[in-house]
Amino acid sequence: MNIAVIGSGGREHSICFKLKQSKQTNKIFCIPGNAGTSAIAENINIDVLNFKSISEFLRNNNIKIVFVGPEVPLVKGIKDYLEKKGFFVFGPSKAASRLEKSKSFTKQLCKKYKIPTAQYKSFNSMKGVNEYIKKMNTPIVIKADGLASGKGVSICISKTEALKKCKEINLGKFKSSKKFVIEEFLSGEEASYFILSDGKNYKFFGTAQDHKRIGEGDTGPNTGGMGAYSPSSIITKKVEEKIKQQIIEPTLKGLKKLGCPFVGVLYAGLIIKNNQPKLIEYNIRLGDPECQVLMMRLKTDLLKIILACKKKQINKIVINWSNKKAMTIVASSKGYPNKQSKISEIKSTQKILLNNNQYLFHASTFKKNNRIFSSGGRVLNATALSKNLKSARDTCVKMLKKINWKDKYFRKDIGWRAINS
Q: CA torsion angle for 82, 83, 89, 95 (degrees, to 10)?
A: 90
Residue 304: its pLDDT value, please?
Answer: 97
The CA distance from 349 to 373, in Å, is 11
Mean pLDDT, each 10-residue run in order, the chain (421 residues): 97 98 97 98 98 98 96 97 97 97 94 96 95 96 87 91 96 90 94 96 96 94 93 94 98 97 97 95 96 98 98 97 98 91 91 96 96 96 98 98 96 94 74
Residue 340: its pLDDT value, please?
Answer: 79
Using an 8 Å Cβ cutoff, are 326 and 229 in contact? Answer: yes
Residue 194: its pLDDT value, please?
Answer: 98
The CA distance from 311 to 233, in Å, is 33
| Cβ-based neighbour number of residue 237 at 10 Å | 6
Q: Is the dihedral of CA 86, 87, 89, 94 positive or negative?
A: negative
Tell me phi and psi for residue 224, to 5 degrees.
-75, -10
Q: CA torsion angle for 160, 164, 165, 168 (degrees, to 10)?
A: 180
The CA distance from 279 to 271, in Å, is 6
359, β-bridge pairs: 383
Using an 8 Å Cβ cutoff, are 380 and 400 in contact? Answer: yes
Would the pTM count as exceeding 0.85?
yes
CA 9 to chain centre: 10
Chain length of the chain = 421
Query: What secondary structure does DSSP assign to 67-78, as a single string?
Result: EE-SHHHHHTTH
Q: Spell out the residues 6+ positions from residue 162 whose beta carbon is closer than 8 angstroms to its own.
A: 133, 136, 138, 140, 142, 154, 156, 182
As separate numbers, helices (DSSP H) first and strands (DSSP E) second, the chain gives 14, 23
Using an 8 Å Cβ cutoff, are 146 and 104 in contact? Answer: no
2, β-bridge pairs: 27, 63
Using an 8 Å Cβ cutoff, are 362 and 10 in contact? Answer: yes
Residue 233: its pLDDT value, please?
Answer: 87
Q: Spell out the residues 6+ positions from residue 254 whose beta carbon is closer than 8 angstroms to its own.
A: 109, 112, 113
Task: Tell me if residue 325 falls in helix, strand or coil.
Answer: strand
Task: Tell me if residue 235 falls in helix, strand or coil.
Answer: coil
Q: CA torsion angle for 142, 78, 4, 379 (degrees, to 10)?
A: -20
Question: What are the E-state strand segments in 231-362?
Answer: 263-273, 276-283, 325-333, 344-346, 358-362
| C-alpha pair distances (Å), 404 with each of 203, 258, 347, 376, 380 | 41, 52, 5, 16, 12
Using an 8 Å Cβ cutoff, are 30 and 18 in contact? Answer: no
The CA distance from 184 to 269, in Å, is 16
Residue 175: its pLDDT value, please?
Answer: 86
Q: CA torsion angle for 364, 168, 72, 285 (degrees, to 10)?
A: 90
Query: Helices in 258-415 by DSSP H: which ranges?
Result: 290-297, 302-310, 389-401
The CA distance from 197 to 366, in Å, is 34
| Cβ-based neighbour number of residue 45 at 10 Å | 7
Residue 341: its pLDDT value, please?
Answer: 73
